[in-house]
Amino acid sequence: MGDASLRLLSGRMGDTRELAMAGKRRQRGRRVPPGDANAVRKTVRADSGDGASRGKARLIFAALAAILLVGGALRASYLREIIHSPDFAFPQIDAGYHDYWARGIATGDWTLPKNLSDWADPHIRSVPYLRPPGYPFFLAGVYYLSGGSYLAARVVQMLLGLANCVLAFSLGRRIFGSAVGLIFAFLMSSYGVFVYFEGELLDSMLLVTLGLSLFHVLSFWADRFAFGRGLAGGIVLGLFALVGTNVLLFPPFVLGWSWWVARRRQDRRRLMSVGLGFIAGIVVTIAPVTIRNWIVSKDFVPVAANVGISLYTGNHEGADGGFAIIPDLKELGAGDSWTCFDYPKMVQGVERKIGHKVKYSEVSSYFVGRAMEFMRAHPARALKLVAGKTARFWGPQESDNNKNTDLEMAHSVTLRHLPGFPLPLSLGVFGLIRLFLTRRTRSDEDEAPSPESDRRFELSVLIVAFILVYFVSYLPFFVVGRYRIPVIPFLFLFGAYGLQRVGQGLMATRYRAAAGWLALLAVLYAAAGVRLVPHEPSQAPWHLLRASCYRLAEKPDMAVAECRAAIAADPTSAEGHRRLGDMLYARNDYPEAAEHYARAVALRPDYMQARYNLASSLVPLQKYDEAIVQLRWVVGHYANLPSAHYLLARTLKTTGSAGEAAEQYRRAIALQPDYYRAHNNLANILLEEGKVDEAIEHYRLALKARPDYDAAQQNLSRALLLKGGSK
């Protein structure tokens, strides 16, 4: 590498020193308004030789191009891997919800696809948005332009990841100089977690784009306050809020920071205009979503209605700081676990509990109330949960509630050797120590008082505020690894600054000082890798998710193999035995299916789904009494499951207990009035008992719920003939 390249990477040719020198020239006679960095930059350009500037620019952009090539190669390699992953075309949980929502927007077809057929219609068009709508609309645009291509979605997101590298370079260069910008871009391009999430149908990388864009706009505020700049900042923050609502806690800090900056500069003339523009931009951006939510449901939900359920998920008796199943989930009718597709069932469960129809905002308030009850009753436990969430947010693990990120990356040839969260955390702390210690001691000539150094300090304060606000915004809820992704770029920004200063010290032959700083970085990296929360990722859930996707892809042999691998990895996995039972049941292998369901029940006696499925497998084996035992337990503990009452009724009828069977059919219908099979079967019993008119009524209700139900149509015709004959 030539001398010029070394000087570039060390920052000796960086923008920082030039701007500081420009500040000194201003003091010698050139009048530059205090704090006006644009004027300083113009002075620099005026005093710089055109040839030197062009040569420097070519070198900078050649380095940036090389960084983008490295990032592009990583992403291309990873994309080649995930094309063959079983869930590439069968996204699950949150990714499945985003995919369904986006396809509905893009095509107008809201039919549940095969990979979601086990879940209920979430009624997205007729209720307030449960989740922020920004990412689904972004994904819908990709689907609309690409004909719904899963590959195109990943390609666009990976291109967005490379665009984030360019944004990082631009922001780093603007605040700290070109060398920092290049280091920042390299860290962004090669961070494995970013590459991983660019391959997922989740909102993480769009949040990174919006975060970097927001601070680009806010950096112009540091130059000069103006209404237009305030409006632009408000619009970008509003767009951010439509993807991640947590950022709505940040505007008061932006306004407070603006007042602080104006006070430092003794110039408050445009403070009011920038503040009004900022607020107007936020309101104008979010208002269409709020109005839409009101129009479809007459319910005031500013962005999304998931605040209550998220708060309760993180604050109840079984919570651990991460994603945990809420204790009364089964009572509300959502089964053993829940996704966004189950939320309408949970709303119905809340309605049953409180005895009247409720709006989504009222359901959110109900869950907020449950969480607050827990926190008031168990204040010490609530504080312990906050400590656990803090450890999870800043810990080295990449735990998630969709897929196990640690295991996914460990199984990737491309990503397995790339560093994880300890790298950005240690670099961020290192850079902040370097920045604020240097400013405090004024030990570096490039940090001498100047308009540019003041501007740099002001922006750094705002970025630190963003990091802290975003972190604190998750403490009341629950924490998983991907929630911290929006703050990682800014940790890398400060880390890039710290590395650039170390490089500068090496170029100036200050070897002892540079070695001391590198030793500090090594200590910080080791400390960042300490796990304060136990986290040993289990292989079993990883295999089970793959099994589900292979089943959807109609590859049953591979699905069974993955289930068996899950059980081999964790023989105590009740979920593994239940899933394997499901696969075997689908093959009509009822004896072995019943065996694995029974093991699941033995491992977890309260496993409702395993008990229900065990009963389902015992019925075709004609073990009716054993099936009835399991079903009586299910309806005794979870009385709000219409399918359990229905199956119990069918089994009772088979054993000759028609009267009790009729009662169970009635309970199923009470819980689900459009349960057409229950209406038909109840009518059959009534017809046998000679209650023809009542039977006819239920046959008609069955046909009302399902007009093409041939069995009910034939039975109704028979009942009408009987009624005519009786006359």
pLDDT digits (tens, 9 = 90+) for 80-89: 999 989 889 8
CB burial readout 17-30, b (16+ within 10 A) else e: bbbbbbbebbeeee
Please give the CATH superfamily to which domain 641-727 belongs.
Tetratricopeptide repeat domain (1.25.40.10)
Mean pLDDT value of segment 289-296: 96
Q: How far apart are CA 201 and CA 215, in angstroms?
A: 25
Alpha helices in 177-226 (DSSP H): 178-190, 192-198, 204-221
List of long-range contacts for 218-222, beta carbons under 8 Å, 24+ apart: 218/254, 218/459, 218/462, 219/171, 219/174, 219/175, 219/459, 221/258, 221/261, 221/274, 222/35, 222/37, 222/261, 222/455, 222/458, 222/459
Q: How far apart are CA 89 and CA 94, in angstroms?
A: 14
Confidence check: pLDDT of 513 > 50 = yes
What's the pLDDT band for 443 if we cut at 50, 70, 90?
low
pLDDT of residue 351: 86
Q: How far apart are the first and last CA of the chain?
A: 104
pLDDT of residue 270: 82
Q: How far apart are CA 526 and CA 714, in angstroms?
A: 74
Mean pLDDT value of segment 277-306: 95
pLDDT of residue 334: 64
Residue matched to tokens 């970013």: 194
Amino acid letter for position 186: F
Residue 326's φ and ψ, nearest 5 degrees, are -70, 145
pLDDT of residue 16: 44
pLDDT of residue 5: 45
Q: Which residues contact 222 (CB under 8 A, 6 or more apart)?
A: 35, 37, 261, 455, 458, 459
691/268: higher pLDDT: 691
What's the pLDDT band for 441 if we cut at 50, 70, 90?
low
pLDDT tens for 98-111 read: 999 999 999 999 98
pLDDT tens for 580-632 read: 999 999 889 999 999 999 999 999 998 888 999 999 999 999 999 999 999 99
Residue 55 CB neighbour total at 10 angstroms:
13
pLDDT of residue 725: 55
What's the pLDDT band for 56 if we cut at 50, 70, 90?
confident
User: For residues 364 and 445, is the Cβ–Cβ distance under 8 A?
Assistant: no
Confidence check: pLDDT of 117 > 90 = no
Q: How far apart are CA 402 and CA 387, in angstroms?
A: 23
pLDDT of residue 127: 93
Q: How far apart are CA 599 and CA 610, in angstroms?
A: 9
Confidence check: pLDDT of 30 > 50 = no
Using a 10 angstrom Cβ sphere, with 0-12 exposed, 13-18 middle and 19 or more buried, the burial of residue 114 is: exposed
Segments of the chain assigned to CATH 1.25.40.10: 538-632, 641-727
pLDDT of residue 148: 93
Confidence check: pLDDT of 637 > 80 = yes
Q: How far apart are CA 612 and CA 614, in angstroms?
A: 5
pLDDT averaged over the chain?
87
DSSP state of 530: -
pLDDT of residue 335: 61
Lowest mean pLDDT among 48-52, 152-156, 238-242, 435-439: 48-52
Q: How far apart are CA 336 and CA 149, in angstroms?
A: 32
Q: How far apart are CA 666 and CA 560, in angstroms?
A: 37
What's the pLDDT band for 362 if we cut at 50, 70, 90?
very high
Q: What is the token pair recorded at 213?
A: 């864009």
pLDDT of residue 44: 41
pLDDT of residue 527: 95
Residue (of 107, 121, 13) closest to 504 by Cα position:
13
What's the pLDDT band for 336 if we cut at 50, 70, 90?
low
What's the pLDDT band for 500 if we cut at 50, 70, 90?
very high
In CATH, 538-632 is 3.10.20.600? no
Lowest mean pLDDT among 6-20, 181-195, 557-571: 6-20
Q: Which residues contact 62 (CB under 8 A, 6 or more apart)?
A: none
340/447: higher pLDDT: 340
Q: What is the token pair recorded at 478?
A: 């629950």
Mean pLDDT value of segment 462-488: 94
pLDDT of residue 43: 43
What's the pLDDT band for 485 if we cut at 50, 70, 90?
very high
Confidence check: pLDDT of 470 > 90 = yes
Confidence check: pLDDT of 149 > 90 = yes
CA dihedral over 696, 697, 702, 703, signed as positive or negative:
positive
Confidence check: pLDDT of 13 > 50 = no
Q: How far apart are CA 91 and CA 94, in angstroms?
A: 8
Lowest mean pLDDT among 31-40, 135-144, 364-373, 682-691: 31-40
pLDDT of residue 51: 66
pLDDT of residue 130: 93
Percent of the chain with pLDDT over 70: 89
Confidence check: pLDDT of 386 > 50 = yes
pLDDT of residue 342: 83
Structure pTM? 0.82
pLDDT of residue 400: 77
Mean pLDDT value of segment 333-357: 80
Helix (H) or strand (E) holding 519: helix 511-528
Confidence check: pLDDT of 442 > 80 = no
User: For residues 321 and 385, is the Cβ–Cβ distance under 8 A?
Assistant: yes
Longest pairwise C-alpha distance within the chain: 115
CA dihedral over 114, 115, 119, 125, signed as positive or negative:
negative
pLDDT of residue 473: 95
